[in-house]
Amino acid sequence: MGRPETSGETANDRDWARERWSAVRCAAVPLVLLLLLDWATGRAAPWRTTLWLALSVLLFAVLCPARVTAGPNWLASRRLGREHRVRTDLLISVRVLDGVSQRLLLRDALDGRVEIAPEVLLRNPQLWHHLAEGARRATSDGLLLCGETALHRLSSRVERETALGVFRASGLE
Q: Minimal CA–CA distance to 173: which of 165, 28, 86? A: 165
The mean-pLDDT minimum among 12-26, 60-74, 101-115, 145-159 falls in 145-159
What share of the chain has pLDDT > 70, as a percent? 95
Question: SS3 breakdown of the chain: % helix, strand, coil, rounded to 5?
Answer: 55, 20, 25
User: Amino acid letter at 91?
Assistant: L
Boundaries of every domain in the chain: 16-63, 70-170
Cβ 54 vs Cβ 31: under 8 Å: no
Confidence check: pLDDT of 3 > 50: no
DSSP 3-state assignment of 104? strand
pTM of the model: 0.82
pLDDT computed for residue 8 by the predictor: 60
Confidence check: pLDDT of 32 > 60: yes
Residue-wise pLDDT for 86-100, tens only, equals 999 999 999 999 888
Rounded CA-CA distance 114/68 in Å is 10
